[in-house]
Structure 1
Amino acid sequence: MADRDFIRQMPEQSLGGERGLLGAIHLDPWLLLLLSVLLCAGLVVLYSGADQNVAVVEAQGVRIGIGFLIMVLLAQPDPAFYRRWSPLVYIAGVMALMAVLIMGVGAKGAQRWLDLPGLPRFQPSEFMKLAVPAMAAWYLSRFYLPPSFSRLMVAVVLVLVPMVLIIRQPDLGTALLVGAAGLVVVFFAGISWKLVGAFLALIGVTAPALWFFVMREYQKQRVLTLLNPESDPLGSGWNIIQSKTAIGSGGLTGKGWLSGTQSHLDFLPESHTDFIVAVLAEEFGFIGVLALLFLYLLIIGRCFYIAVYAQDSFSRLLAGALTMTFFVYVFVNIGMVSGILPIVGVPLPLVSFGGTSIVTLMAGFGVLMSIHTHRRMLAA
Structure 2
Amino acid sequence: MATINNDDVDDNDNDFAYQLEQEEFERQQKRQQQSCGENSNVYRDPTDGTEYEWDPIKKAWFPKINDDFIAKYQASYGQFDNDESDANITESKSVNEEKKTTSIINTPTKPESIDSEQTTSSSSSSSSKKRQRDEQQQQQTPQWFEVDDQHNTNVYVSNLPLDITLDEFITLMKKCGLIMKDDRGQLKIKLYTDEQGKPKGDGRCCYIKLESVELALNILDGYQLRENHSIKVERAKFSLKGEYNPSLKPKKKKMNKQQKEKQRKKMEKLFDWRPNKLPGERQKCEKTVVIKNMFDVKTFENDPRLILEYKTDIREECEEKCGPVRKVEIYDHNPDGIATVTFQEFDSADKCVELMNGRFFAGRKLDAQFWDGKTRYKIEETDEEIQKRIKQWDEFLEQDNDDKQPKSQ
Q: Aligning the two structures, in what range does the TM-score lie when normalised by the shorter sequence?
A: under 0.3
Q: Which has the higher helix share?
A: 1
Larger radius of gyration: 2
TM-score by length of 1: 0.17
Higher RCO (CA-CA < 8 Å; seq separation 6+):
1
